[in-house]
Structures are given as structure tokens and as C-alpha cells.
Amino acid sequence: MADPAFSHAPKPDGATGCLVLADGSVAWGRGFGAVGNAVGEVCFNTAMTGYQEVMTDPSYAGQIVTFTFPHIGNVGTNSEDNESHGVAGAVACIVREDVTAPANFRSQGTFGHWLELHGKIGLAGIDTRALTRRIRLLGAPNAVIAHAPDGVFDIEALLDRARAWPGLEGMDLARKVSREGHEAWSGSIWHLGKGYTLPTGTGRPHVVAIDYGAKDNIFRNLVAAGADVTVVPAETSLDAVMALKPAGVFLSNGPGDPAATGAYAVPVIKGLLDADVPVFGICLGHQMLALATGAQTIKMHQGHRGANHPVKRLGDNVVEITSMNHGFAVDAATLPAGVVETHVSLFDGSNCGIELTAKRAFSVQYHPEASPGPQDSLYLFEKFVGGLG
């Protein structure tokens, strides 16, 4: 698809950033944040809020996020809104307008400065509508994004790098963004004026959360639902998980190809199911549970990323407004006997939830902890923790 926003035209005056797609197309703009270049898959996110949370969501590892909402930066950044240790997540972002000055009482700094501190590149002045249409029509492309204050770029070298990058299909990124050791999680959900509160009460069921690239707010919601939580690395063995005596096991979100991560994750999950340990999964964790039952996953054309995705709950036909971030999906046609589809996307009919009829195990493709709706999906944490007894 030819598009005037993407061409082989020479660099215009004042351009300090560029996006070089693997097909040779180039978009010029104004760089901000970190200086340098980064390679990844270009995707788009339609959410109107939460840009800092998006940029620190480990599920975005290996991706360059195009924000379709024009006013990025208006709430600034702060230390409480990061969703991961070490601010793992997207390698870069693309925006239409120059970053908006902060106008929020919680702001501790500008978005541009925050990107610079954390080694993430920003590119402004891009026709994000044209780029989004291109992704919708042709799929998510591989690309290199670059920022050079002097405006000097070696386009051929950047193009070579974009073409050499193998892409997300077949790539296991969970082990790269997962924690390296065990962590006893303590904080609950955030409250205005109080921050992240601590849990109260005794006799709380112990949940072991396997971190494939988790968002921290998932753990906070598990705590808020009444659990004590221990977070363990992605490659933790079945014996090590069972040694923690879990009342239930949570499977987190994460980046990359689920089939690649499944090489080490699926045997552990199968062991948990054989031991009749209750299991709850979100996003990549949903895909891991499906793979453990014998189902398959597929690469999506453009993926689902945003905070306004309608999902139908098949049990009672209730529609939940959900937050999503995934480029792979469970192929519902491959679900075996004993595994029922519980949720479907109203955008494209793709699978968004499963439950095992003979086991205490269920999962969803979307992100209930992101508070879309804003509370449409919080019942899932209560369902899991409340059933551990």
C-alpha cells in the first residue's frame, strides 16, 4: 500500500528522528527521549490514558508502540505508575503531536525526560492515523526507530537492521523480562492520598504467581482479593512451585510467541493440573494454559491493544469493556474436549477466555487489572482467590 506519509523521500529540514520499515518505507519526524536506535515490531494502542503504564508493561517487549490518542504526556510521569521492575516494556513510542506539558498534581516529571532516563526512544510528528491504517491493512511490520539530535542517519544501515530482525514469531521473550528470583509481594491496590496500601487479616490463601513478564498491578489485585502472593521466575520448575505449597497458581501476562515460551512453561502447568492445583491465567498466561490442554495459538494480523475492547461473556451474554495487549491468540477451533470457551472478542470473534470443566482452572486473554470499564472484570480475581478456601 502506497501512502504519502511513508516514502523514500529525502530527509526534510529539521527532522531529528525517523521510522524505517523493513519494506524500505521511511517516515520522518522529531525525536525525543533517548538518543540512538532500536528495532521492534510496530503496533498501535488506542487507549486515551496510561501511556506510562503501557511503556512499562513487559508484554510490549520487542515492540514500538504507536499511540493513536494525540495528547500524550499531559499527566506527566511519576514513580507510582510503572508496571514493572526495571521499567521493562516497549522499546520506543510514536506520537502525532509533540509531547504535551504535564498538567496533573501527581506529575514528577515530563514524559520526554522519563523516556530519556529509561533508554526509550520517542518519535513525534508522525501521521499516526496513516501508520495505524497501514498496520490494519498489511499487518504489524518490523522496523527500526532512530533519534539523532544532529539529524544525521544512515538509512541503509537502519534498513538492514530492520530486515535482519527475525520478528516476534518464534521468539521467547518471557525469560528476558521475568524476575530472576522469588519475591514476596506485599502491596495492594493504589488509593488517592495513601499510595499502595498493605493487606490486612490472617489466614489468606497463598498464591504462587509465575512471572512471564507480569504487570505489577496484577499482583496488587490478587492481594486486594485476599491472597498472600509469592512471585517466581518464568522458568521455575514444577517441584520448586509445589515446594512453596500454593493454594493456587497464577500465570502472568508476558511478551513474545506463546509457543516458544510454552517449551518450558507447559510441562509445569500440566503438572499443576495433574495435581489439581487451581490455576488462573491472564494474557500470555491464558495462552500457556490453553497450550497445556493441547490447544494451539496463532499470530494475529494486527493484534489487540487498547483500553476499550468489548468482550462477550458467553455464560450470561454480559459485555465487559476490557484492556488488551496481545499479538497472538488462542485458536478456539483447537480447544479439546473438556475445555470450554468462556469469552469472545466482539471486534473479531477471537477467543478471550477458557475454563477447564474437570479442573479448577480458567483464564482470560484481556487485562482485568488495568481497570477498564472501570471494574467490569475485577470479579475474576475474586473468583480465583475466593475459590481457594
- Give the residue numbers annotated as catalytic, written as ranges: 283, 367, 369
User: Would you state the cell numbers that stand for residue 354, as one nine-digit string?
Assistant: 477458557
Cβ-proximal residues to 135 (8 Å cutoff; 6+ apart), any chain: 42, 43, 44, 66, 141, 302
CB burial readout 199-227, b (16+ within 10 A) else e: beeeebbebbbbbbbbbbbbbbbbbbbbb
* Cα 2 to Cα 91: distance, rounded to the nearest angstrom: 27
H-helix or E-strand containing 66?
A: strand 63-67
- How far does Cα 212 stand from its chain's mean position? 11
Which residue from 130, 113, 59, 95 is spatially nearest to 284, judged by alpha carbons?
A: 59
Peptide bond into 374 cis (omega under 30): yes
* Cα 186 to Cα 165: distance, rounded to the nearest angstrom: 39
* Cα 301 to Cα 108: distance, rounded to the nearest angstrom: 38
Which residue from 59, 134, 151, 58 is spatially nearest to 94, judged by alpha carbons?
A: 134
* Cα 102 to Cα 87: distance, rounded to the nearest angstrom: 20
Which residue from 216, 226, 41 is spatially nearest to 139, judged by alpha carbons?
A: 41
Determine contact, residues 144/62, Cβ cutoff 8 Å.
no
Q: Which residues pair with 196 in a beta bridge?
A: 190
Which residue from 331, 376, 383 is spatially nearest to 362, judged by alpha carbons?
A: 383
Q: Which residues pair with 145 in a beta bridge?
A: 19, 38
CA angle 91–307–258, rounded 5-degree value? 55
Q: Strand, coil or helix: what is 214?
A: coil
